[in-house]
Amino acid sequence: MIAIIDYGMGNLRSVEKALQRVGAEVHIITRPEEAAGAEALVLPGVGAFGQAMDRLREAGMDALVKSWVADDRPFLGICLGLQLLFSESEEFGPVQGLGIVPGRVVRFAGPAYEPHDGEPGLKVPHIGWNQIEVVRPHPVTADLPKGAMTYFVHSFYVVPDDSEWTALTSDHGVEFTAAVARGNLFASQFHPEKSGQVGLLMLTNFVRLVRERSGR
């Protein structure tokens, strides 16, 4: 069973349906004790970093995520669920994050996003399909086609202190980390549940990882 954390800031149903489509048994949880018996944990999310951290702490979900990842149990973070893993965010901050991945969350900013020579500059938030590049293989990215595209909706991006965390990159005026991975943890800035066949492939790979980890 895969548990999806509900802390009031995620598009839970689309994530739930996508995982079910690739054959997973899924439950949405609102309290840490409801994760008992789960084989994997999913942290989705959209919205403000600080508010999300407050809600995770209020529900005791911050401790659950930290202990889960520390035990190297299968974990999937999506969009804000990636950013929350980091040490801090500059969004209305700095605001302290979970501190699982050393690094910061920063806003797209600079000349590329400003009007110049009659051109409007790149838009922030970054919304739409972008190509991703594999820089460090992981079971979740197995068999990704060359030139794979995924769907993004974000104004901030993550900057790990250690580049070894970066599994995928993309580009929106600056090359940025599109996903991090280590052990049984995988977290993406893009939305795999909204990324068509490429996203379903990664979710299928995640479910396979969960089953292999649990010996099924």
Q: What is the DSSP string of 112-170?
A: GGS-BTTB----SSEEEEEE-EESS--GGGTTPPTT-EEEEEESEEEEESSGGGEEEEE
The letter for the amino acid at 187 is A
Instruction: Give percent of the chain above pLDDT 90.
Output: 83
Instruction: Decide if 126 is catalytic.
Output: no
Q: How confident is the model at residue 122, as a pLDDT? A: 82
Instruction: Round to whole Å and give the CA distance between 158 and 77.
Output: 13
Q: How confident is the model at residue 95, as a pLDDT? A: 95
Instruction: Round to whole Å and give the CA distance between 104 and 94.
Output: 9
Instruction: Please give the angle made by the CA atoms of 69, 129 and 139, to the nearest 5 degrees.
Output: 35
What pairing do the DSSP bridges indicate for beta strands 133-134 and 175-182?
A: unpaired
Instruction: Decide if 79 is catalytic.
Output: yes
Average pLDDT over residues 54-63: 95
Residue 22 contacts residue 200 (beta carbons within 8 Å): yes
Of 39, 79, 126, 154, which is the active-site residue? 79
Average pLDDT over residues 176-194: 97
Instruction: Decide if 25 is catalytic.
Output: no
Q: How confident is the model at residue 214, as a pLDDT? A: 77
Q: How confident is the model at residue 188, as a pLDDT? A: 98
Confidence of residue 194 (pLDDT cuts 50, 70, 90): very high
The model carries a pTM of 0.94
Q: How confident is the model at residue 118, as a pLDDT? A: 66
Tokens of 164: 């070894």
Closest CA to 2 of 195, 184, 139, 197: 184
Q: How confident is the model at residue 117, as a pLDDT? A: 67
Of 126, 138, 154, 191, which is the active-site residue? 191
Residues written for the chain: 216
Three-class SS of residue 204? helix
Count of beta carbons in the 10 Å neighbourhood of residue 62: 20
Please give the CATH architecture assigned to the domain spanning 2-214.
Answer: 3-Layer(aba) Sandwich (3.40)
Q: How confident is the model at residue 123, as a pLDDT? A: 87
Residue 36 clears pLDDT 70, i.e. is over it: yes
Of 6-20, 32-46, 60-74, the one with minimum mean pLDDT is 6-20
Residue 10 clears pLDDT 90, i.e. is over it: no
Of 39, 88, 91, 193, which is the active-site residue? 193
Q: What is the pLDDT of residues 116-134, one digit of tens each?
A: 766 777 888 999 999 999 9
Helix axes 61-70, 49-59, angle to 10 degrees: 90
Q: How confident is the model at residue 161, as a pLDDT? A: 97
Beta strands in the chain (DSSP E): 2-5, 26-29, 40-43, 75-78, 86-89, 95-96, 101-107, 126-131, 133-134, 149-154, 156-160, 166-171, 175-182, 185-188
Residue 138 contacts residue 180 (beta carbons within 8 Å): no
